Amino acid sequence: MLQRELSDKALLHELYETAEENVHRHLSMAKDWNPHDYIPWSEGKNFKLLGGEDWEVGQSKLDEPARVAMLTNLVTEDNLPAYHRDIADAFSRDSAWGTWVGRWTAEENRHSIAIRDYLLTTRAIDPVELEQARIASTVAGFNPPMAAQDMLHTVCYVTFQELATRVSHRNTGKACNEPIADKLLQRISADENLHMIFYRNLVEQALKVSPNQTIKAIADILTMFQMPGAGMKNFRRNAVIIAKSGIYDLKLHLEDVVMPVLRQWKIFERDDFSGYGEWERDRIAEYVQMMTGKLQQIEENKAKREERLRRRAS
């Protein structure tokens, strides 16, 4: 089977109709909302500089896992300048591509505005730590492995990343055990899901246009995937806390992010790969098998720990 290897410019041309259709789809489905409607402003009060009191942990209604997840989620959203640059470079700023870049940026910015306003007004998180993390993250930027290599790698990355962010926000809302935070993060999760669908549909069309080239990008991104917050201070510690609380862990990543997208693209049913494309699909299958093995081992170790604790208690 003859396979085409296309430049970024050629791919943008081939995928333009899909992009235009999905911009219209997004605009018809996206619900406009205002961050200020989700903030309990009556709970706000001045900090010490203006005659009030500075933050201390007893003021927060959230437990540590919820605070850590909120901090991580917001720092992720705060790195918008880096994401905007990458998406604009990958897509260009012309016509439907430019419309999407602008709309996506505005919606992502709304997320960070809303989360920050909620956290500061309710005194849920240390505002000094939050500001320090924002500056450090923005200065460092974020360049996930392989994602900046070309347009296809970028689109594959944001497909998985947007869905992962949606899952993380939704579960963080539940973990907060606070109705306003839950409602806000439900609203943000709905946006993230629409963003994911836009990117997922582009990759789906790219698989038709250049199957081998696209499956390689998918394999590269999956096997080296990192969340945008990976470079932030204490990320590993925070990731462990988030995983132990069930907000986002390996099981959720595999079952709620990776596999649904691969099924949507029919990766293991397609017959249009050839040569190295078949090898790349095998690489994805091996990755899924490896992740499944890791997950099984984690579950077995967890069961053994629980059994040991049960025996000690009895």
30 DSSP assignment: P
Instruction: Provide the token pair at 88.
Output: 């604009």
Burial class of residue 11 (count of CB atoms within 10 Å of its CB; 0-12, 13-18, 19+): buried
Q: How far apart are CA 250 and CA 116, in angstroms?
A: 27
Annotated ligand binding at 43? The verdict is no
Q: How far apart are CA 214 and CA 272, in angstroms?
A: 11
| Closest to 147 in 3D by CA, of 225, 232, 235 | 225
| Closest to 37 in 3D by CA, of 171, 184, 176 | 184
Instruction: Give the CA dihedral 273, 274, 277, 279, nearest 10 degrees.
Output: 120
Q: How far apart are CA 307 and CA 173, in angstroms?
A: 31
Helix (H) or strand (E) holding 81: helix 80-91
Burial class of residue 34 (count of CB atoms within 10 Å of its CB; 0-12, 13-18, 19+): exposed
Annotated ligand binding at 13? The verdict is no
Annotated ligand binding at 111? The verdict is yes
**Amino acid, single-letter form, for residue 126:** D
Q: How far is CA 147 from CA 89, 176, 246, in A?
A: 12, 32, 27
| Closest to 5 in 3D by CA, of 213, 155, 206 | 213
Annotated ligand binding at 77? The verdict is yes
**Amino acid, single-letter form, for residue 115:** I
Pick out the residues of the known binding site for Fe cation. Answer: 77, 108, 111, 162, 192, 195
Pick out the residues of the known binding site. Answer: 77, 108, 111, 162, 192, 195
